[in-house]
Structure 1
Amino acid sequence: MCRTAAERTLAAELDTARPGLTAAYAEALPGARAAVLTRLWRGLVHEPLPWVDARSADREGVTLRLDDGRRLHGPPSDPWATAASVTGLDLDGRRYDHPAELMAALAVPRGGRFAAELDHSVASMALSRTASRPTAPPAHPWEWEQAETDGHPYHPGCRCRPGFSAVEQLAYAPEHRPVVALRLAPVEGAAVSGTWPRELREGAAVLIPVHPWQAEHVLTGPTLRPGPSGHPLLSLRTLDIGGDTHVKTSLSTRLTSTVRDISAYTVTHAMATSDVVERLVRRLDGRLHIARTLAVAGAGNADLAALLREAPHVHAQAGERVVPVAVLPALLAHHAPDERLRRIVDFAHLALGICLDLLDLGVALEAHGQNLLAVVDAEDRTRRLVYRDLADIRISPARLARHGIPAPPVSGRLLNDDPAVLRRKVLGSLVTGALGPLAGDAPTLGSVLEAATRGLAPTPDLHALRTEPLPAKALTLMRLDPDGGGDLWTGLPHPLSA
């Protein structure tokens, strides 16, 4: 049943450490292969890959003509679909049902590295799918964060966790619902922004929370102390440590496609960024809350830093829950189709209105399904939104100035006045990272956007949303990019035409 290096490695580790999961893991592998292959095919069909010379489509599917003359054929590809629908692709007469084996056979530049990532993604997704699911509604806010097993709905590396053994995934990944014991690194002369808690100080030293994976694999020098325990959230390296506080830790490995450390830039700018956005959000009539940055500390390198953040659940009132948008599809699944669609449209109208109003003021949020949370009532209707993690937003001084708002006390990569960059940040996150997965396919997303944009303020950004190809990160191209220098983009067919 196990065919590739990563599949065999995780299986062998389970045989030793958790033999009771071995059979379930093997049973989950075919579905995980199809789920990752579907994501890969989406990227191959819709992204500007330099070694694809031409694409042709008909009712039977899509054919890619490669620059070496070979042809790759597969089923029709809806760039907004989330169901795993691709069980095999034909490369010059040979069928491939494993994404890593297909990528290796394509033999394109940097394809070997990407094939290994796809192998990890399949194996880790199969392991994630062995997690037992709760039978009762979540009783704690962090339980909502642990409902998702498959990761990013469009990224082929959705469950790529290189460097994590099977035992470590079971011990640290949110879908397995562990309790994770953090470590504390005493650092004298640490850079600190905000008010660092007294309980995380020891004399002249700042006690910086460290993820146990980081302690085991990266920080071999410092002597670490026992720290607080917490529940991992959708972002594996962020934990609910009780009370009203979440802690975001450095994790110096590439999860999905990004190394999850905390830069010195973030340590310097996090508090000022939070203050700027909080002030602007007050103009939105209570529609949006910001999970405030409380404090951040670093030891001068990205491997040892931590950020303390307000827990989103503090913004819920009696009878309300705060849930990541990534789990809204599961939350709404029990409603009748018409009711479910109404709730999606209501959410989309609120989210688009908030993000476009804030963009007009001068702040572009990265409002994907992990950063954006919905405050829902007992009937699963969205009442307000909460946004967390301001590390990668964009701020436009020119737009702020148009509204008479002073320039913020920040510098560097957070600042950008280019309308295309700002719109990519917002629409590439909200539509392709939240609304697309919630709708589940192009026709539904088109209906949602048509209804949800009615009555919104007629800004140039709204016009771009309704008329231009929708920006999306070229996730496959980025993993094959020889420079590996940052985000690359493509324009997806507009679902309003579907």
Structure 2
Amino acid sequence: MHRPPSAEAEVAGELAAVRPGLVPRYSAELPGARAAVLTRLWRALTHEPLPWLTGRAAGREGLTLRLADGRRLHGPRPDPYATAAYVTEVRLDDLAYDDPARLMTDLAVPHATDFAAELGHSVASLALSRAGQEDTSNEWPGTDREWEQRVVDGHPYHPNCRSRPGFSVAEQLAYGPEHRPLVELSLMPVRADECLVTGEWPHGMRDGARLWIPVHPWQAAHVLKRAGEEGPAAHPLMSLRTLALADGGTHVKTALSARLTSSVRDISVYSIGLSATLSAFAETLTAHTDGLLHFTRTLGAATADSPDLAAVLRESPQVYAGSGERVVPVAALATTGLPGSPVWLADFARLALTVGLRLLELGVALEAHGQNLLVVLSPTGAPLRLVYRDLADIRVSPARLTRHGLPVPELTGRIVTDDETALRRKLFGALVAGALAGTAGSGAALGAALETVAGDLPSTPDLPALLENPVPAKALTLMRLSPGTPGDQWARLPNPARFGARHS
């Protein structure tokens, strides 16, 4: 077996200095973390259109991939919707690998070196995240931040699920939601006439001719390189850069110019400029879902004409919970045990797909992945309604809106498209290949749920594509190995209904 312990050893060394009591648990979590990342990488290798793979051959003992240089890579039978770490080893010709970083290094494909380093960070950070957990398996959280903190493993399908390059161990412990810290934000003073502000910027963050923009402490130290003034305390949510203010529940989305999973988490001037318009537009959509979907309102957004110094203030999704109800991020549902019931899973799929298809037909494609989409649960756990947050990456079709007699908001840029493929990719890639798949945990479970609810879904022109065509999913590994190619790239996954029937 190959053990490249560079990132693992670095984290162990730093951990010994700042939290020595956690070192044994960290070491114990490393094998499982390697398997979790290797499973995600195997999904990419078996389903993404990677240019240096020239063939895939299935057999009784698994799947063999043929590389352009003639080598063979062999692993278990793949399930592109699995969330369990079922891949513990793959073989490159005659050598066995249980470590994704070493495997990517020895594949030696273009840009593999940088990606391998990220995979190493992902393994080490994932082990660190798991090491710091308390046993809450028999408890349901009482606050929204505790639901967010339950999502320990990060993205369910990205090999860089926990990659946090640029963060020391001390900073991961201080800022990672899974470590349950309280973070002190900084406030940066900026002249109001030098800022773009949309919505209502709170009076408490104004001082005469100046605005105070809340800044993540990592951003202040590493990018802005100045401390600012002492700001409010907040609890980090699963996106890391978004935090819930400790004294009021308002959510603050901060700029964080670090590469987490795939993207650098800054806030573009473009998104600030459209935030108020998008928020007002979204409020008009709830009526078209019979009240089954609510959007968190953007209260205010500001930027000092820089993606590195900007913030968005949003209301908490918890305002949409009734008495005894809970609002739970979809990414946290797997920690509840609810998806283990086929009836519950079908009910949730029916709710999510009904809402998604209705809005898509009207002309709005949500990026409804497990972080943006939340579900309102009854006191008994039944899925009642949905809540959606963060409108920055939805897609809006003026042609579809017009066809249904709906006013077209004044939007420009990437959000606006009438391209049918782009609209379906946005919704199906996030909702089916992301939120629903991550909740179901396997192709068989997801396929069974879709088969159960297919006859109940809105009969729109997009429905056949959902039920019959391959499912679009972002080719996350291809994108990381193609640094010169802008925009999203896509894989085509087997349709869950057909996949479930073959693998049940």
- Quote the residue 1:332 is aligned against: 337
**Deviation digits for residues 282-308 of structure 1, max 9, x if unmatched?**
221110010111110001110000000
Kindly, what percent of the aligned residue pairs are identical? 57
Kindly indicate whether residue 175 of structure 2 is the aligned counterpart of residue 168 of structure 1. no
Q: CA deviation at 1:190?
A: 1.4
Describe the SS at the equivalent of 2:288: helix
- Quote the residue 1:256 is aligned against: 261
- Quote the residue 1:360 is aligned against: 361
CA distance in 2, matches of 1:66, 1:3: 23
Which residue of 210, 216, 220 corresponds with 1:211?
Answer: 216
| Contact persistence 2:327–2:375 (CA under 8 A) | yes
**Deviation digits for residues 443-468 of structure 1, max 9, x if unmatched?**
11111111122222211111110111
Kindly indicate whether residue 272 of structure 2 is the aligned counterpart of residue 297 of structure 1. no
Which residue of 229, 232, 237 corresponds with 2:233?
Answer: 229
- Quote the residue 1:434 is aligned against: 435
Q: CA deviation at 1:6?
A: 1.1
Describe the SS at the equivalent of 2:455: coil
Q: CA deviation at 1:482?
A: 3.6
Q: Scaled by the length of structure 1, what TM-score is found?
A: 0.97
Show structure 1 runs of 5+ residues with no match.
Answer: none
Superposition map of 1:41-80 within 5 A: 41-80=42-81
- Quote the residue 2:15 is aligned against: 14
Q: CA deviation at 1:133?
A: 2.1
Letter of the 2:101 partner, please give it. A
CA distance in 2, matches of 1:69, 1:330: 42
| Contact persistence 1:277–1:363 (CA under 8 A) | no
Q: CA deviation at 1:134?
A: 5.1
| Contact persistence 1:2–1:8 (CA under 8 A) | no
- Quote the residue 2:242 is aligned against: 238
Kindly indicate whether residue 316 of structure 2 is the aligned counterpart of residue 311 of structure 1. yes
Q: CA deviation at 1:238?
A: 0.4
Q: Measured at CA, do residues 230 and 147 of structure 1 come closer, stay the same or move farther in structure 2, by a change above 3 Å? A: same
Letter of the 1:168 partner, please give it. E
With 133-142 and 456-465 compared, the bigger mean Cα shift is at 133-142
CA distance in 2, matches of 1:305, 1:74: 45
- Quote the residue 1:101 is aligned against: 102
Q: CA deviation at 1:137?
A: 2.7
- Quote the residue 2:448 is aligned against: 447
Describe the SS at the equivalent of 1:192: strand
CA distance in 2, matches of 1:200, 1:401: 39
Q: Scaled by the length of structure 2, what TM-score is found?
A: 0.96
CA distance in 2, matches of 1:275, 1:394: 15
Q: CA deviation at 1:245?
A: 1.0
Kindly indicate whether residue 161 of structure 2 is the aligned counterpart of residue 158 of structure 1. yes
**Deviation digits for residues 212-244 of structure 1, max 9, x if unmatched?**
0001100025x5000011111111010010424
| Contact persistence 1:42–1:77 (CA under 8 A) | yes
4+ residue segments displaced more than 3 Å: none
**Deviation digits for residues 340-380 of structure 1, max 9, x if unmatched?**
21111111101100011011111100000000000001211
**Deviation digits for residues 140-175 of structure 1, max 9, x if unmatched?**
121111001111111100001010111100000000
Show structure 2 runs of 5+ residues with no match.
Answer: 500-504
With 204-213 and 131-140 compared, the bigger mean Cα shift is at 131-140
- Quote the residue 1:86 is aligned against: 87
CA distance in 1, matches of 2:27, 2:234: 30
Letter of the 1:127 partner, please give it. L
| Contact persistence 1:284–1:354 (CA under 8 A) | yes
Superposition map of 1:362-381 within 5 A: 362-381=363-382
Kindly indicate whether residue 282 of structure 2 is the aligned counterpart of residue 281 of structure 1. no
Describe the SS at the equivalent of 1:295: strand
Q: CA RMSD in A?
A: 1.3
| Contact persistence 2:54–2:66 (CA under 8 A) | yes
| Contact persistence 1:332–1:380 (CA under 8 A) | no
Letter of the 2:145 partner, please give it. W
- Quote the residue 2:502 is aligned against: none
Letter of the 1:267 partner, please give it. I
